[in-house]
Amino acid sequence: MDAPSPTSAVHRPGRGRVFDSIVDAVGDTPIVRLRKLPQQHGAHATILAKLEYFNPAASVKDRIGAAMIIAMEQAGVINADTVLIEPTSLARLSAETGDAGIDVDRAAQDVGVSRR
C-alpha cells in the first residue's frame, strides 16, 4: 500500500458529513492517483481513478438520476402531486436492467414525488 500523501488528512466537502437527503450525498466522489500502475508497465503517464462507487448506490448513474429529478423540480415540471412512471425501476431484480431507473426512483422519492 502506498504511503498517504501529505494532503490526505485535509477535509474535503461531503466526506464524513451528515446529509439531510440521499440526493445531497450524490457526487463529491474521490479521485485517486494510481502511481504504481504506470510504473509497473514502464509508462510515463498520470492515471487517475474516479471512485464513483462512493455514491449512495455505488454508481455514476446516481448523478444522472439526481440531476434529472432536480432539474425537473427546479423547472416546475414536477412537484409533490406528480406521479412518475419509471419502468426500469420496476424490474429491480432483473439482471439486464441498469440502475439509472433505480436512481431516478430514489431521487424522486427523496423530493416527495410519487412513483409507479
The number of domains in the chain is 1
| pLDDT over 70 (residue 25) | yes
Distance between CA 57 and CA 73 in Å, rounded? 21
pLDDT-derived band at 84 (thresholds 50, 70, 90) equals confident
14 part of a folded domain: no
1 part of a folded domain: no
Q: Mark whether 50 is an active-site residue.
A: no
User: Which triple of cell numbers denotes residue 6?
Assistant: 501529505
- The sign of the dihedral angle between the CA atoms of 104, 105, 106, 112 is positive
Residue 62 domain boundaries: 23-115
Range with top average pLDDT, 60-64, 82-86, 93-97, 109-113 = 60-64
Of 23, 26, 61, 66, which residue is the catalytic one? 61
| pLDDT over 50 (residue 97) | no
> Which pLDDT score, from 0 to 100, does residue 88 have?
60
107 part of a folded domain: yes
